[in-house]
Amino acid sequence: MALNFDKPLYSLSTPVENKADQATWEGESLGGITEDNNRLPIPVVWLLLLTVLTAFAITFPLWGQRPNAGLYVDYVKAMNTPEIMAIQDDKAAMAKIIDITKGEISKHVTRMDYEGLLARHPLSMDDLRIIKPQIEALMSAGKDPEEYNVVGDLVVLANFEGNLKADGKIENRERKQPWWDKGYTIDIFYVIMFFIGVTIVIKCLPPSTWQPKHHH
């Protein structure tokens, strides 16, 4: 099939091909069901655009369902301050920790959505006591806590596939979800390919200005 790219938004077909298509269209009833050649109504086009934008927007920022340990580093540090140690009541201590770390966490966490993550994964003082030694061990080993997830009562390496580290080895990738997240990037290419493909297919049909006369 020869494609004519002169006026792609009008039609990708040559006038000859359009004529042939129109003749085909007029000459058959397609098994009793004729069909029209209308374009997509403009409001529906907007709806589709909104859908595509929403699909990406709602998935970004790319948070996993498991919180990363970096979120709690400041909590753990705060636990060692005399101010917190002086509080006997666990609930009050937790509230105080949240209060004094407010505004601090963003300095250590690269994730822009940390507030939502903290809200979805609130901790009690008991939970903090369980993960505290694990997070401290990570910190003293010089690991990046953001590469670790808090899964239940354990702090484990995350499933993310991020930037290459300085040594350049693929298996040592950062375990942080980067802005170019693989799945997300594939999605962008995939959607672009889809719309290009559909446009080509649709523009190979006769232009929408032409309507078949359903031979009555």
Partner 1 sequence: MAFREYKLGARMFGLALGGSMCITLLLPAFDFAAVASTDMGLDKQFTAGHETGFSLDDPFLLGWNKPLKVTLKADPVTGQPMEAKEVYVYQKGTTFPAGVLHPRILGKGIEELSVQKGKISEAKKDAGAVFGLAKDGGVSYVENLTATKGWTTAVVMAAANAGKDEDISHAGAGKTMFVREGCWWCHTLLPEQTQDWQVFGAPPMIGDFNGESPTAFGSDRKAPDLLHVGSRNSSREWMMLHFFNPRLVQPHSIMPRFDYLWGEKDANGQKIDFDKWRTEYDQYRNGSRVTPPDVPAYSKNSEIRYLVDYMMSLK
Partner 2 sequence: MLKYLFAKNEDIPAGSAAVFWGFSAIVWFVIGTGLGSFNAAKLAFPDFVTGNEFFAFGHMRQVHVHAVIFGWISMAFGMAMMYITPALGNTKLWSEKLGLWNALMWNIGLSLGLVLLWAGVSSGREYSDFPWPIDLYIVVFMAVPLCINVWMTVINRRTQGIYTTNWFFASAVFMVSIVFLTGNLPEFFHLTGLTEAYLTWWFAHNVLGLWITPVAAAIAYYTIPKVTGNPLYSHRIGHLHFWSVVVFYSTPAAHHLMSAPLPEWLKSFASVEGVLILVPAIAFVSNILLTMSGKWYMFVENLEVRFTITGVLMAIPLNMQGGFQQTRAINWYIHGTGWIVAHAHLALLGFSTFLEAAAVYLGLQMILKRKLYSLTLGNMHFWMLLIGFTTYWVSMTIAGLIQGAGKIYEVPYIDVVIAEHPYMIARWLGGTMVFVGNVLWLYNMWMTARQGTVVPEGRMPHELAYER
C-beta of 35 vs 126, nearer to partner 2: 35
Nearest to 128 by CA among 162, 91, 158, 160: 91
User: Where do contacts with partner 1 occur on this chain (CB under 8 A)?
Assistant: 1, 20-21, 24, 65-67, 120-122, 127, 151-154, 156, 159, 161, 171, 186, 190, 193, 197, 200-201, 204
**14, interface contact from partner 2, partner 1, none, CB < 5-8 Å by kind:** none
Question: Is the Cα dihedral 49, 52, 57, 58 positive or negative?
Answer: positive
- Pseudo-torsion of CA 74, 75, 81, 84, nearest 10°? 150
Considering the complex, what minimum distance in angstroms separates the CB of residue 90 from partner 2?
16
Distance CA 172, CA 11 (A): 50
Q: Which of 182, 148, 185 is nearest to 164 (CA)?
A: 182
Per DSSP, the residues of 138-155 read: HHHTT--GGGEEEETTEE
Q: Which does 8 bind (CB under 5 to 8 A by kind): partner 2, partner 1, none?
A: none
**Interface with partner 2, residue 37, by CB under 8 A:** yes
- Helix-helix angle 125-140:90-101, to 10 degrees: 50
* Out of 14, 62, 108, 144, the residue judged to bind partner 2 by CB under 8 A: 62
Q: Looking only at residues 176 through 205 of this chain, which bind partner 2 when binding is defined by CB under 8 A?
A: 177, 181-184, 186-187, 190-191, 194, 197-198, 201-202, 205
Closest approach of Cβ 41 to partner 2, in Å? Answer: 7
Total residues interacting with partner 2, rule: CB under 8 A:
54
Q: How far apart are CA 165 and CA 61, in angstroms?
A: 22
CA distance 212 to 216: 11
- Of 90-98, 102-110, 131-139, 158-166, which part binds partner 2 (CB under 8 A)? 158-166
Residues of this chain that bind partner 2 (CB under 8 A): 24-25, 27-41, 44, 47-48, 51-52, 54-56, 58-59, 62-65, 120, 158-161, 177, 181-184, 186-187, 190-191, 194, 197-198, 201-202, 205, 208, 212, 214
